[in-house]
Structure 1
């Protein structure tokens, strides 16, 4: 039953993403692979988590890099456009950078651009990551299946035309 609810939620949310101009490319386990024309036909992996959080990781070819975004209804303190520092703790590897507050379909979240390919490597090979916001609040995400999702994003991206750079 629980699996059915998650699957239904994923299909509904994927429909919302599609309505927002994204095209569904395929799936990789619990991750949905999408193409975002606004990011220069960048491919991304999207996944809903059981705590109502959704996560996106993907390519931003028009910026020559990638991004990580997370959206969570409980993050009511986030202001659209506000910036802050976010840390990603993979255990023995940590990354830190600027995140921008954004709302997607009315849900608050943060968007962090990166141009360090090591971030994607760590994301794909780890089983979990702890994301720590500027306030010190943290959330741990289960990254099961992320390696195959990253492979699918790369395969999707290889099929896309070269973007125009910003």
Structure 2
């Protein structure tokens, strides 16, 4: 059954016809079944893959996760996306890196370093942001600004922007409202 779902996802992910109001529900249903995630909304041309396999190559998604167009998600090192997370258009998330200091001149012969990533509840990763494998946690409610390149962990309810991304502020939230 999983292989059939995966094939159907591959068929529907790149066709814009499945973005029309009536047919996008089919794509959403396929992703929800495949990833066992309630209220998962995945737009077109999204790639969710483990570029390299290891023991930690697991992906867990919470409820009400929204993934925009042209997003690339690598979960080679393991990735957990908690509830109410938005990942906007063009975002790239990496959980592995090729070692360049392992002795070979040809970096492709060197080993791979894997790192797991936890994206906590209520995070928003804005358009075209890049999350590098040095990041292991994006704290609850954090916002990663459009075009930011995140190289370090993000604190809860903080806003990060730039290249490399730096904390530029803290969100004002009412804890009583969800």
TM-score, with normalisation over the residues of structure 1? Answer: 0.30
The structure with the largest helix share of the pair is 1
Select the structure of larger CA radius of gyration: 2
| Higher fraction of strand | 1
Structure 2 length as normaliser, TM-score? 0.28
